[in-house]
Structure formats: structure tokens, C-alpha cells
Amino acid sequence: MVAEFADRADFLTVYIAEAHTSDGWSFRNNIKIRKHQTLEDRLAAAKILANSSLSRPLLVDTMDDVANRKYGAWPERLYILLEGRVMYKSMPGPHGYHVHQVRYWLEKHL
């Protein structure tokens, strides 16, 4: 979808607080990331994501979670913003959002 709409939309990821920390609620097969204590911790965790074949720019939320609080993004969500306004907000993911809804909105409005 990123490649398909690249000429009409900008895609990015905002890395917020880690949902499944190794010192919190984790899964056995997860990458071991401890709860971020410093911005350097968060940046190091974001770098792991960036190096895992992410095909779009990656921004990192502040330690006081400004983006997360403003957008209610935890643990993850999909958004469409147009001229600074939220046009689409998914349910919390990964089970609550549906990529096909994003595609439908983009096809209809761009």
C-alpha cells in the first residue's frame, strides 16, 4: 500500500512506549526490550524496528508520551491525517484495526 499511494500520501510510523517489554507483559518469542527509562532506551528500541525492513520514515515519541497521549495510540493504531486533521482513526491494534479500511479511505479520497 505504501508503494501504491506514495505519489499521493506520506506514510510514517511513530514509535511510542513498548507494549510488550521484557520486564513487563512479554511473549517468549518477542525481542527483548525493557521498559524505556530514558530517551536513549526508546531510540535504541526504535532502531531495532527501523532495521527490520520498515519501508517508511520512523519518528520516536517523547518520554512524556506526547504523541501517544494526543492520539490515544497505545498499543498501536492506524491514522489518516489530512491538513492536520484526523480523517480516520482505527480501533487499537493489532486486532482492532483493518488495513483494508485505510486502503478504502485512500482510494475514495485521494
CATH code for the domain of 70: 3.40.30.10
pLDDT tens column, 20-63: 777 666 666 567 788 999 999 999 999 998 998 788 999 999 99
Overall average pLDDT of the 67-92 stretch: 95
Does the residue 42 lie in any domain? yes
Query: In angstroms, how far is the first alpha carbon of the chain from the final one?
Result: 13
Does the residue 1 lie in any domain? no
Give the residue numbers spanning the domain of 89.
Answer: 13-109
What is the number of structural domains in the chain? 1
Does the residue 30 lie in any domain? yes
Does the residue 5 lie in any domain? no
Does the residue 3 lie in any domain? no
Angle at 40 between CA 38 and CA 44, to 5 degrees: 125
Does the residue 70 lie in any domain? yes
Does the residue 7 lie in any domain? no
The pTM assigned to this predicted structure is 0.84
- What per-residue confidence (pLDDT) applies to 103? 97
pLDDT at residue 94 is higher than 90: no
Does the residue 18 lie in any domain? yes
Mention every residue, 6+ apart, whose C-beta is less than 8 A from residue 39.
Answer: 60, 62, 63
